[in-house]
Structure formats: structure tokens, C-alpha cells
């Protein structure tokens, strides 16, 4: 099993539907990978075309136990006096990226657009994300072991 770091670059979104009656939406993104969750800042007043330019890191094990290598980006609208509204979500499947990273020592998905869909799978905009995966390099041991004994100067 390989352990590494997944870096998610959350850039921006376009075409998000306005759910607020008064004013503009204040979107933020909840990024989930397995049991890990990160939350972006709120893009206040940006409406349906927010810009974040933020990076998030996740600890990744490949191959892992469950085999679900999916990054889920839930886009929410921050509301002050009521519960936050769900605007849509995008899913990015990472198994091929992780396998390539283990094989080559690093793998990257350049920033590109992903479809944002609502719960009924209708299109409601797009989000731009870039992803890097870097496996952790195993540390070399300084001591040389010979036949189970450590070689020393004594």
C-alpha cells in the first residue's frame, strides 16, 4: 500500500443558479474524499461566478480498503438566517490518477472544468479544479544491516 498527498486546487465556478430572492448567492465548496472533509472560504457577493483560488490537501492510501477513489465537491450557498442551500455537486474519480502517481512518482490533472449537477442530475453549472498526487517517498535507513545485526564501528 502506498500513502501519499492529494492536493486539490479549487479555482472557480461558472453558471451556478441563483437561489436567493434578495441579493446574490454566497457560494462555498465542501470537498470530501472518503472520511476527510475540507471547506473553502465563502465567495461573498460573487453570485453564480465565484472565484476561490484555494488549495487543500488530503491523505491518500492506494490501494485502500474500500476501493472508492472519488472526490466529491458540494457547492453550497451560505445563508445567514436559514440553513445553507445546496447548489449542486461534482464528482471526480481518482483511481487512474492514483495508479499513475504510484507508478511514475507523481501524477497531475491540470485545471479543467467539471459538470455541476443537482440531486436530480440536471446540469447547473461547472467548476474548475486541478489535482496533484504525490506518493510519500520512503525514508532511507542510515544504518546498514548485515545478517540481522547492525554494522557498527565498535
* pLDDT, tens digit, 9 for 90 and up, residues 38-75: 999 999 988 899 999 999 999 999 887 676 899 999 99
Arithmetic mean of pLDDT over the chain: 88
Q: Which residue has the cell 507523481?
A: 106
pLDDT tier at 82, thresholds 50, 70, 90: confident
pLDDT grade for 146, boundaries at 50, 70 and 90? low
For 92-109, the pLDDT digits (tens) are 999 999 999 999 999 999
Tell me the pTM. 0.84
Query: CA dist 105 to 7, 81, 108, 147, Å?
Result: 14, 48, 11, 31
Q: Residue 65 has what pLDDT?
A: 66
Q: What is the percent of the chain with per-residue pLDDT over 90, rounded to a whole number?
A: 70
The label of the residue with cell 489535482 reads: 131
Tabulate helix, strand, coil % of the chain (nearest 5).
5, 55, 40
Is residue 22 scored above 90 in pLDDT? no
Q: Are the CB atoms for 116 and 90 separated by under 8 Å? A: yes
Q: Is the pLDDT of residue 142 over 50?
A: no
Q: What integer pLDDT is reported at residue 29 of this predicted model?
A: 98
Query: What tens digit of pLDDT does each residue of 4-18 get?
Result: 999 999 999 999 987
Amino acid at each position: 500500500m502506498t500513502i501519499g498527498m492529494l492536493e486539490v486546487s479549487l479555482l472557480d465556478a461558472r453558471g451556478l443558479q441563483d437561489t436567493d430572492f434578495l441579493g446574490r448567492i454566497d457560494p462555498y465548496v465542501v470537498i470530501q474524499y472518503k472520511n476527510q472533509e475540507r471547506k473553502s472560504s465563502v465567495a461573498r457577493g460573487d453570485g453564480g461566478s465565484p472565484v476561490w483560488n484555494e488549495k487543500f490537501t488530503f491523505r491518500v492510501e492506494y490501494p485502500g480498503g474500500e476501493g472508492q477513489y472519488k472526490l466529491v465537491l458540494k457547492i453550497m450557498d451560505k445563508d445567514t438566517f436559514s440553513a445553507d442551500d445546496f447548489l449542486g455537486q461534482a464528482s471526480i474519480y481518482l483511481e487512474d490518477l492514483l495508479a499513475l502517481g504510484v507508478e511514475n512518482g507523481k501524477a497531475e490533472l491540470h485545471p479543467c472544468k467539471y459538470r455541476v449537477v443537482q440531486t436530480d442530475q440536471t446540469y447547473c453549472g461547472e467548476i474548475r479544479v486541478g489535482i496533484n498526487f504525490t506518493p510519500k517517498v520512503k525514508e532511507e535507513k542510515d544504518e546498514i544491516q548485515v545478517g540481522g545485526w547492525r554494522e557498527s564501528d565498535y
